[in-house]
Amino acid sequence: MRKIFLIVLLVGFVAYAGFNLAESVTPYVSIAEARASSNSVQVKGLLDKTFQPVQSGDKFNFSLQDEQTGETMRVIFDGMKPDQFDEAYHIVAIGKYAAADETFHAKKLLIKCPSKYEGQKPQV
Amino acid sequence: MVGNLLLGGGLTAALAAMIICLAQKIPSARTVKIIALVSAGFITTASLLLWILLFENDFSVEYVASYSSTTLPTIYKISAFWAGQQGSFLLWLMIHAIVGAVLTFRRTSAAALGIYFLMQSVLVFLVLAKSPFAEHSAQVYEGVGLNPLLQDFWMAIHPPIIFVGYALLAVPFALSLGNLLTEAASRSWLEEARKWTLAAWGFLGAGIFIGGYWAYKVLGWGGYWGWDPVENSSLVPWLLAAVLLHLINLARKKPAVLAQAHVAATFTYSLVIYGTFLTRSGILGDFSVHSFAGTSIGVTIALANALVLIGGLSIIFAKAKQLPQGELYKSYGESTFIILLGCLLLIFIATIVWIGMSMPLLTQIVGQAAAVDTDFYIKSTSPIALALAALMIYTFIKFGRSISLGGKIAHVGFLAMLVAIVISAQGETVTQELQTRQKILVTGHEIIYEGQVFKEDERQKFYVYNVDGEIVRALTKLRGNGEDAAREPAILKNFSGDIYIAPHAPQIDSVQELMLTKGLFAMDGELGYIFEDAHIDYDDNNKPIQATAAITITDGEISEVIHPTIIVTPDGGSSKAIEAFKGKRRVRLTGISGDLEKARLEILPTLDKLSEMPITATISTKPYIWLLWLSVTAICTGTMLAIRKR
C-alpha cells in the first residue's frame, strides 16, 4: 500500500515535470536552423554592423550575424535596448522565428561583454 | 608566490589532520586541534595577504589588476576580495577552515573530522587550481576596477553569507559519513548535525534573500528573482538542506529514518559543489546573465563533485545493512508521514530547479544544447508549492503544539513568503517615455519626471521623480567615460506596496564623433577643432601609461586648447569627458593612432542638456512586497532561535 502510494506520486511527478519540460525547452541553434524551426529557440551571434539598431516604442530592432556562416537575420526584441548592448561581442536571442515577416521575435536577450567594467577600448 | 606557499602550508596541514584523524581510531585531540589551527592559520594569512595586495594596489597580481584600481574607494577593496571566482573560492576556503578549527574544539568524532579535512584539502586544491595570487604577465599601472554594480554595501555582505552557508553544510556531511564509518547504527551525531544544519540553512537562506533584495532594490532587475543558474545553484542546496533538517529531527525519534538522513546529508553537500561546478566552470557561459565566463577549472570541480557524491553514497551503501530498519510510520495521519511527504514535495521542487538549471549541460551531453525558459520553473513548481503550503497549514493545526518557538516562526515565515510571492506578482507594469516635468498617470499613480541631477565628480547622477507628491531619486553610477554603469530603480514605499521605476538607458543620439588629422581643421557644426599634437607617456620599461592630445577649439574669435587623455588599462584604456569652451561642450578622447597622426574625439551633450532629456522607464507596482522581506526575516530569525538546545 505504502509503496503504491509512493510510486503513484513519483510517476505523477515525473510525467508532470516531463510534460512541462518538453513544452519549455529551447534548443540552442544556428541562424539557419532558427529559420527552419517554428519552436522557441536560442540563437547566438554577433551584431550585424551593417544594420543600425533602432528602438521604436517598446520594441528593439537589430540584425544578428552568424559567427560561422556570416548569415544575418533581423531580430525584434520585445523590450528596451539592453544595457551594454553596444559593447556586446556575443548576443543570445531567445524566441521564435516568424516566416511571415522574416524576423526573429525575441522574448529575451543575453548580452555577453568582453568586460563589464571601465571605459571603451581606445586604439593607442 | 607567497600566497601560494601559504596555501600550500594550509593544504599540508589539512592533509596531515585528515590522515591522523582517519588512520588512528582515537588520535590525540590536542595534536588535531593544533594542526587544524595551523591549517586555518595558513589559509587566513593567505586571505589577509590578498587583502593587503588589494589595499596596496599591487597590480603585478592579476586578480588585483582585474578587480581593483587605485581609484577604488577603500571600503570596496574589502569586497573586491570576492568579486572574482578565485577570490570567492578563497573566501569559501577561509570560512571552511575556521569552522574546521572550531569543530576540533567541539567533541567531534575523529572520523568526521577526517572527512571534513578531506573536504578542506579539496577546497585548497580548487583555490590553487586557479590561484588568486597568479602574477600578471604584463606590467600594468592601473587596475580594471570593480564593476560599478558591485560597488555596493550588499556586495560586501551577500557573498560571505552565502559562503558561510556553503561551508557549514560540510559539517552535517562530515558528521554523517564519519558516523557511518565508525558506528553506523549510532544516532549520536544527530544533535550536533541538527545545530550545524540549522545554522547552515539560516545563513544560506539569509544569503539568498539578501541577494534577492539586492537585485530588487539596487540592481534594478525589476524583481527579486530571475531563475538564473547562479541563483538556482544556491536555491537547490537550500531546499535540500531543509529536507536534511527535517530528516535529522525525525531520525532522533525514529531510528528507521537514519538512512534517509545520511542520504540527504550527502546529496545536500554534493549539490553545493555541483552548483559551483555549473556556475563556475564556464559551461553556462551562454545561458546565464552572471558573468563567470570561460574558466578552466571545470574538470577539477567536477572531480570534487564526483568524490563527494560517489564517495558519500558508497559509504552509505556499504554500511546500509548496519543501519536501523523498521517501519517509518504506521498510518497516514501520523506526523512522521506528513513530514516525510513534505520532504518529498521539497525534493520535487528541488528536482525541477535542478533539471532546469542543468538542461544546458544535460542536453550538451546528448547532442544539441538547449535551455528552459523561466516559465518552466514557475509553472512546474507552483502547484507543488501550493500542496506544500496546504500540508504545512494542516500540520500546524494538527501538531502545532509540539513545534518549538523558533520552528513556529520559521514555518509561519515560510508560509507568509509563499503568500507574498504570489501577492507581490499581481502588480501592473508599464513601459513608457517620460518627458521632463510632465504629469502622467500610470498604474493609478501621478508621476512627474523631474530630470537628471549630476553629482560634482560626474561619477554619479540621479533620476528624480515626483510620485504622488513625494520625491524619489534613483541613483545611477557612471563609468569613467560618463556612460551609465549601474542604474538603480526609484522606489516609493507604501503600505499597499512599492511603486518601482526602473529607468532605461537614455537614448543619446547627439553623440558626434570627429576623426581628427594632425594639423587639419574639422567642424562639429558650430565650433572648429584642430588636432595640434599628441604624446604618449612611457614607463621605465617602455610600456605606455597614457596618451594625451592637444586640441584647439575655436568659434572663430576665441580659441581654447584642451588636453584630453586616455589612461592605459589592462583591457585597453579609459578616458573621461572634459568640459570645454566654458561648459558649452563636453568632449572625450576615444582613440589615437599609433603614429600619433589621427585622433578620435567624441562630442557629448552638455550636462544641462542631458538632464532635460526625456527618458524611458518601466513603472511597476509591487503589492505588499514588504510582506516578502518580513517573511524571509522571520524564516532566518526562527531558524537561528531553533539552534538553542531543546
Give the C-alpha separation, B240 to B267, whole Å: 8
Assign B508 a pLDDT band (cuts: 50, 70, 90). Answer: low
Rounded to the nearest integer, the mean pLDDT of chain B is 88
pLDDT of B316 reads 93
Contact A123 B594 (CB under 8 A): yes
Assign B49 a pLDDT band (cuts: 50, 70, 90). Answer: very high
pLDDT of B220 reads 61
Assign B289 a pLDDT band (cuts: 50, 70, 90). Answer: very low
List the domains of chain B with CATH numbers. Answer: 1-151 (1.20.120), 153-402 (no CATH), 429-508+610-626 (no CATH), 512-604 (no CATH)
C-alpha gyration radius of chain B: 29
pLDDT above 70 coverage of chain B, percent: 95
Give the C-alpha separation, A9 to B161, whole Å: 36
Contact B351 A121 (CB under 8 A): no
pLDDT of B98 reads 97
The pLDDT tens digits of the residues spanning B332-382 come to 778 889 999 999 999 999 999 999 999 888 887 777 778 888 889 999 999
Contact B616 A94 (CB under 8 A): no
pLDDT of B82 reads 92
Give yes or no for residue B597 having a pLDDT over 90: no
Give the C-alpha separation, A49 to B425, whole Å: 39
Q: Give A-chain residues touching B288 at CB under 8 angstroms.
A: 110
- Take residue B372 and report the three cell numbers written for it: 528552459
Best residue in B372, B477, B516 for a mutation probing chain A (most A CBs within 10 Å): B372
Q: Give A-chain residues touching B379 at CB under 8 angstroms.
A: 20, 24
Q: From A79, which residue of chain B is nearest by alpha-carbon distance?
A: B431
**For the residues of B407-442, what is the DSSP string, one character each?**
HHHHHHHHHHHHHHHHHHTT--EEEEEE-BT-EEEE
The pLDDT tens digits of the residues spanning A21-58 come to 888 888 888 888 888 888 888 888 888 888 888 877 77
pLDDT above 70 coverage of chain A, percent: 85
Contact B144 A23 (CB under 8 A): no
Contact B572 A42 (CB under 8 A): no
pLDDT of B570 reads 62
Average pLDDT over residues B314-332: 86
C-alpha gyration radius of chain A: 20
pLDDT of B510 reads 60
The pLDDT tens digits of the residues spanning A82-111 come to 767 777 778 888 888 988 888 999 988 887
Position with higher pLDDT, A92 vs B576: A92
Helix axes B626-642, B189-214, angle to 10 degrees: 160
Which candidate from B370, B504, B505 shows the least CB-CB separation from A25?
Answer: B370
pLDDT of B621 reads 92
Assign B288 a pLDDT band (cuts: 50, 70, 90). Answer: low
B135: DSSP letter:
B
Segment of A10-14, A48-52, B446-450 carrying the highest mean pLDDT: B446-450
Taking Cα atoms as reference points, which of B163, B2, B139 lies closest to residue B65? B139
Give the C-alpha separation, B549 to B314, whole Å: 68
Contact B592 A122 (CB under 8 A): yes
Q: From B150, which residue of chain A is nearest by alpha-carbon distance?
A: A117
pLDDT of B235 reads 96
Q: Give B-chain residues touching A87 at CB under 8 angstroms.
A: none
Give yes or no for residue B291 having a pLDDT over 60: no
Q: Give B-chain residues touching A92 at CB under 8 angstroms.
A: 286-287
pLDDT of A113 reads 62
B218: DSSP letter:
I
pLDDT of A116 reads 36
In sequence order, which residues have a C-beta less than 8 Å from that of residue B406 and are 6 or more positions away? B637, B638, B639, B640, B641, B642, B643, B644
pLDDT of B646 reads 57
Q: Nearest-CA distance from B115 to chain A in Å?
A: 33
Q: B588 and B606 in contact (C-beta within 8 Å)?
A: no
Give yes or no for residue B293 having a pLDDT over 50: no
pLDDT of A21 reads 86
Give yes or no for residue B590 having a pLDDT over 60: yes
Work out the burial of residue B4: count CB atoms within 10 Å of its CB; fewer than 13 is exposed, 13-18 middle, 19 or more buried: middle
CATH number given to A27-112: 2.40.50.140
Backbone angles phi, psi at B99, to 5 degrees: -60, -40
Give yes or no for residue B543 having a pLDDT over 50: yes
Assign B286 a pLDDT band (cuts: 50, 70, 90). Answer: low
Assign B200 a pLDDT band (cuts: 50, 70, 90). Answer: very high
